[in-house]
Amino acid sequence: MKAAVLVFPGSNCDRDLAVAFRNAGADVTMVWHKDSALPQGVDIVGIPGGFSFGDYLRCGAIAARSPITAAVIDHVHRGGYALGICNGFQVLTETGLLPGALMRNAGLKFVCKPVDLTVETTDSAFTADYGKGQGITIPVAHHDGNYVAAPDTLAMLRDEDRIAFTYRDNPNGSVDDIAGILSQNRRVLGLMPHPERAAEPAHGGTDGAAMFTGLIGALAPA
Ligand SMILES: NC(=O)CC[C@H](N)C(=O)O
């Protein structure tokens, strides 16, 4: 599996994400935001967490207009995979590749702690190695993680089984406790918690690792 991890000014989880992909067996290339093309043959683009462009304007809004992001939009439109974590989820909503928006946390505070999640669907490459309804613990670290969407969008996400993860004890006010959602073709996942920060024993938890092994299982050539 070939992965590209984007790097924006202010990204701070790009290397962690690359390590998680590599530990699962992926071949990873880091791609600077000013590049206008992805490396040949990339299967999945990782959009990392952080504070791209200092969170100016809105989190992810400026990164969504970087040259590389146009290539990511093309990649997704051609059926390519993308994983947006935290700031990466914000970038995906700002591009319109995922519906809804991430607003300021309901408590108006930066939240940085492990959270308990429920895996709501196993019908995706990102969640195939989990069990449906499984409880997992993964850290969050954000001030704009409060997911909002119009009622008809929420109904569509529910009807199409596109809610990937929910919070068991909602840390940010997200509607319906939503922590992560899938695109209609199930090849784009955006989530606020950081699976790459719970992917090896030294992290204090390994519940995030199954996301990367699941991707390898689905995308690596047999
Ligand atoms: N860890 C992150 O990616 C943080 C995202 C964004 N800067 C926020 O605080 O909401």
What CATH number is attached to the domain comprising 43? 3.40.50.880
Neighbouring CB atoms inside 10 A of 77's CB total 9
Q: Could you tell me the CA-to-CA distances from 97 to 11, 32, 45 in Å, in that order?
A: 20, 20, 13
Q: Find the mean pLDDT for residues 173-201.
A: 98
Ligand 1 pocket check for 53: Cβ under 6 Å = no
Longest CA–CA span in the chain (Å) reads 47
Q: Find the mean pLDDT for residues 110-129.
A: 98
Q: Tell me the pLDDT of the chain averaged across its residues.
A: 97
**Which residues are known catalytic residues?**
86, 194, 196
Domain count, the chain: 1
- Name which of 147, 143, 144, 145 is nearest 163 in CA terms: 147
The answer to whether residue 39 scores a pLDDT higher than 90 is yes
Percent of the chain beyond pLDDT 90?
98
Q: Could you tell me the CA-to-CA distances from 62 to 10, 45, 55, 88, 154 in Å, in that order?
A: 11, 18, 8, 12, 26
Ligand 1 pocket check for 52: Cβ under 6 Å = no
Ligand 1 pocket check for 87: Cβ under 6 Å = yes
Q: Could you tell me the CA-to-CA distances from 151 to 121, 126, 158 in Å, in that order?
A: 20, 25, 11
In this predicted structure, what is the pLDDT of residue 221?
A: 62
In this predicted structure, what is the pLDDT of residue 220?
A: 79
Atom in ligand 1 nearest the alpha carbon of residue 85: 3
Neighbouring CB atoms inside 10 A of 135's CB total 12
Burial class (CB in 10 A: 0-12, 13-18, 19+), 19: middle
The residue segments making up the domain with residue 58 are 2-219
In this predicted structure, what is the pLDDT of residue 222?
A: 55
The answer to whether residue 191 scores a pLDDT higher than 60 is yes
d(CA 212, CA 11) in angstroms, rounded, equals 20
Confidence of residue 124 (pLDDT cuts 50, 70, 90): very high
- Name which of 63, 119, 118 is nearest 86 in CA terms: 63
